[in-house]
Amino acid sequence: MWALDLLNDTILMALAPSLLVLIGSMVLIGLHWASLGAVIAVGALFYVAITVLFSTRYIAPAARISNAWDTKVGGTLADALTCNAVVKSFGAELREDTRLARVINRWRVRVRRTWFRYNYTAMAQLSLLLALRASVIGGSVLLWMSGHASPGDVTYVLTSYYVIHAYLRDVGMHINNLQRSVNDMDELVAIHDEPIGIVDASDARPIAIEGGEIVFDDVTFHYGGHREPLYDGLSVTIRAGERVGLVGRSGSGKTTFVKLVQRLYDVSDGRVLIDGQDIAKATQQSLRSQIAIVQQDPILFHRSLAENIAYGRPGASLEAIEQAARLANAHDFILRLPKGYGTLVGERGVKLSGGERQRVALARAFLADAPVLILDEATSSLDSESEALIQQAMERLMKGRTSIVIAHRLSTVRSLDRILVFDRGEIVEQGTHAVLAGKPGGIYRGLFERQVVDLGRLAAAE
């Protein structure tokens, strides 16, 4: 903002008037004494040209680099601070210090170089001005001595030249400022030019979700930078009001599936339809406001618990908030906090335990009351007792809504209408728990047996 200010001021209030006066005075001298006028004009032109050249070719590249390092110092600091817990738990303070010191050292070298370039440029400008002044004074005195000029002429030229000299110095300074403000805005402009990942189509309309039927129609999806597409022609239909579980090993593409439903990424090929409407043609805001989601790694705002829960439905009453919290089995722990629903939860919710954070996220989704509900490992950090309680709440909540439940713990999905088993971006099995668990040699059966065996072992140990 300051850079933009400086740019405006420099051009409109400083450079333009200075140039005007400069040109005017030179014309006046030229009218009075053509040869000296020409000398001054050539000198001034040369001076401005050199200044522009130094600014853009000598200072600007260095300034661009030191600005980039400015940003890097900020980035390194932010990275170390946000991962502060990791730094502490590995006792790596010294290592982080060294790392920061290294970055700062390189930053210092770059900034110093820029600073020196400013100063060298200023020295060159001053020398040029002094040379010009010397030749104007010397020239007029010589002309006077040889009888080609009167003392009046000399006085006229010298006084006018002092005016010109001052303006030339100003113009040099303004050009430097101009370059500096343009450099300072570089990164801002670059950010502005960055293409927006997901853009609403120009004729995008709000989507109206009623039943919440979700159709993946021959969807191909590719994460940028990956060589292989994750989904290659994936087709699946989730009926309106159906409760579907997604299982499969880590990295098989379950979270990505729900990200595509929310259109956090655009598909490379094929379509995703909700209630028959292509979500690529809907406004993102309308789409996402009708999907309630508990993310795999829920993040909270550093605001009160009540505000966090009400995020899905701004303006919800305290009763409604408490009701949602009760359903999510969060009410009791919230009341035990020092300020109850007014408690601030810290950046990203760090002041809550993982399970507590998850329950707040669940309450948020419960309150949102959207036709499509997505739970991505929503109960993974809960103890079995809370999980069982929430399971009941979820059953109630999923009634009449299209629900997608992702879980590694199969107990969470076994009662759902249908289970989709993902493997490397493909749906390799689907059906109810009973069907899949009875399928000899099936992946789901394998997963299920392993979990049952583990449970059995646990029971035997007890």
Ligand X SMILES: Nc1ncnc2c1ncn2[C@@H]1O[C@H](COP(=O)(O)OP(=O)(O)OP(=O)(O)O)[C@@H](O)[C@H]1O
* Chain positions contacting ligand X, by CB under 6 A: 223, 226, 230, 250-256, 296
Q: Is 451 exposed, middle or buried (0-12, 13-18, 19+ CB in 10 A)?
A: middle
Q: How far is the CB of 255 from Mg ion (least distance, A)?
A: 3
Q: How far is the CB of 409 from ligand X (least distance, A)?
A: 12
Assess contact for 71 and 174: CB atoms under 8 A.
no
SS3 content of the chain, % helix, strand, coil (to 5): 60, 15, 25
Binding partner at 146 among Mg ion, ligand X, none, C-beta below 5 to 8 Å by kind: none
CA distance 203 to 136: 67
Provide DSSP, 37-74: HHHHHHHHHHHHHHHHHIIIIIIHHHHHHHHHHHHHHH
CA distance 160 to 36: 11
Binding partner at 386 among ligand X, Mg ion, none, C-beta below 5 to 8 Å by kind: none
Q: Is 256 in the site for Mg ion (CB under 5 A)?
A: no
Binding partner at 308 among Mg ion, ligand X, none, C-beta below 5 to 8 Å by kind: none
Binding partner at 117 among Mg ion, ligand X, none, C-beta below 5 to 8 Å by kind: none
Nearest Cα to Cα of residue 397 among 310, 332, 329, 328: 328
Q: How far is the CB of 83 from ligand X (least distance, A)?
A: 19
At 204 the three-state DSSP class reads coil
Q: How far is the CB of 296 from ligand X (least distance, A)?
A: 6
Binding partner at 121 among Mg ion, ligand X, none, C-beta below 5 to 8 Å by kind: none
Q: How far is the CB of 297 from Mg ion (least distance, A)?
A: 9
Q: How far is the CB of 411 from Mg ion (least distance, A)?
A: 18
Between residues 192 and 226, which has the closer beta carbon with respect to ligand X?
226
Binding partner at 357 among ligand X, Mg ion, none, C-beta below 5 to 8 Å by kind: none
Between residues 56 and 296, which has the closer beta carbon with respect to Mg ion?
296
Window contacting Mg ion (CB under 5 A); options: 163-171, 218-226, 254-262, 397-405: 254-262
Assess contact for 378 and 409: CB atoms under 8 A.
no
Cβ partners under 8 Å of residue 191, min gap 6: none
Q: How far is the CB of 377 from ligand X (least distance, A)?
A: 7
Binding partner at 230 among Mg ion, ligand X, none, C-beta below 5 to 8 Å by kind: ligand X
Binding partner at 162 among ligand X, Mg ion, none, C-beta below 5 to 8 Å by kind: none
Assess contact for 184 and 3: CB atoms under 8 A.
yes
Q: How far is the CB of 240 from Mg ion (least distance, A)?
A: 25
CA distance 316 to 325: 13
Measured from each CB, the residue nearest to Mg ion is 255
Binding track, positions 199-238, relative to Mg ion; x by CB under 5 A: ----------------------------------------
Assess contact for 344 and 291: CB atoms under 8 A.
no
Binding partner at 250 among Mg ion, ligand X, none, C-beta below 5 to 8 Å by kind: ligand X
Between residues 224 and 276, which has the closer beta carbon with respect to ligand X?
224
CA distance 322 to 306: 8
- Single-letter amino acid, residue 71: T
Q: Which of 66, 255, 308, 403 binds Mg ion (CB under 5 A)?
A: 255
Between residues 256 and 329, which has the closer beta carbon with respect to ligand X?
256
Binding partner at 138 among ligand X, Mg ion, none, C-beta below 5 to 8 Å by kind: none
Between residues 286 and 380, which has the closer beta carbon with respect to ligand X?
380
Q: Is 257 exposed, middle or buried (0-12, 13-18, 19+ CB in 10 A)?
A: buried
Q: Other C-beta atoms within 10 Å of 343: how many?
A: 18
Q: Other C-beta atoms within 10 Å of 419: how many?
A: 25
Between residues 67 and 256, which has the closer beta carbon with respect to Mg ion?
256
DSSP one-letter code for 261: H
Displacement of CA 367 from its chain's centroid (Å): 28
Q: How far is the CB of 265 from ligand X (least distance, A)?
A: 8
Q: How far is the CB of 93 from ligand X (least distance, A)?
A: 30
Binding track, positions 280-319, relative to Mg ion; x by CB under 5 A: ----------------x-----------------------
Q: How far is the CB of 233 from ligand X (least distance, A)?
A: 17
Provide DSSP, 288-323: HHTEEEE-SS----SSBHHHHHGGGSTT--HHHHHH
Q: Which two tokens stand for residue 268?
A: 């490379």
Q: Is the dihedral of CA 346, 347, 351, 352 positive or negative?
A: positive
Between residues 252 and 290, which has the closer beta carbon with respect to ligand X?
252
Residues in the chain: 462
Query: Contact residues for Mg ion (CB under 5 A)?
Result: 255, 296
